[in-house]
Amino acid sequence: MCHLTGKTEPVAPSEDECKAIVGEPAPDFELESDLGGKVKLSDLKGKKVVLYFYPKDNTSGCTMQAVNFQAALDKFEKAGYVVIGVSRDSIKSHTNFRNKQGLKFPLLSDADSEVSKLYGVLKLKSMYGRKYLGIVRSTFVIDENGILAAEFRDVKAKTSVADLEKALGIS
Q: Do the domain assignments include residue 171?
A: no
Condensed to tens digits (0 to 9), the pLDDT of residues 31-80 reads 999 999 999 999 999 999 999 999 999 999 999 999 999 999 999 999 99
Residue 142 pLDDT exceeds 90: yes
Q: Do the domain assignments include residue 77?
A: yes
Is 0.85 surpassed by the pTM of this model?
A: yes
Q: Do the domain assignments include residue 158?
A: no
Q: Do the domain assignments include residue 21?
A: no
Q: Do the domain assignments include residue 143?
A: yes
* pLDDT of res. 17: 59
Q: Using CA atoms in the order 38, 44, 47, 48, what is the torsion angle rounded to 10 degrees?
A: 70
Residue 6 pLDDT exceeds 50: no
Number of domains in the chain: 1
Q: Do the domain assignments include residue 4?
A: no
* pLDDT of res. 133: 82
Give the pLDDT band (50/70/90) at residue 2. very low
- Cα–Cα distance between 119 and 84 in angstroms, integer? 14
Which CATH number belongs to the domain containing residue 64 in this structure?
A: 3.40.30.10
DSSP class of 141: E
C-alpha pair distances (Å), 170 with each of 55, 75, 76, 107: 26, 7, 7, 22
Condensed to tens digits (0 to 9), the pLDDT of residues 76-131 reads 999 999 999 999 999 999 999 999 999 999 999 999 999 999 999 998 877 788 88
Cα four-point dihedral sign 12, 8, 108, 164: negative
* pLDDT of res. 3: 40
Is 62 catalytic? The answer is yes
Q: Do the domain assignments include residue 106?
A: yes
Q: Do the domain assignments include residue 18?
A: no
Q: From the candidates 18, 31, 62, 72, give the one annotated as an active-site residue.
A: 62
| Structural domain harbouring 127 | 45-153
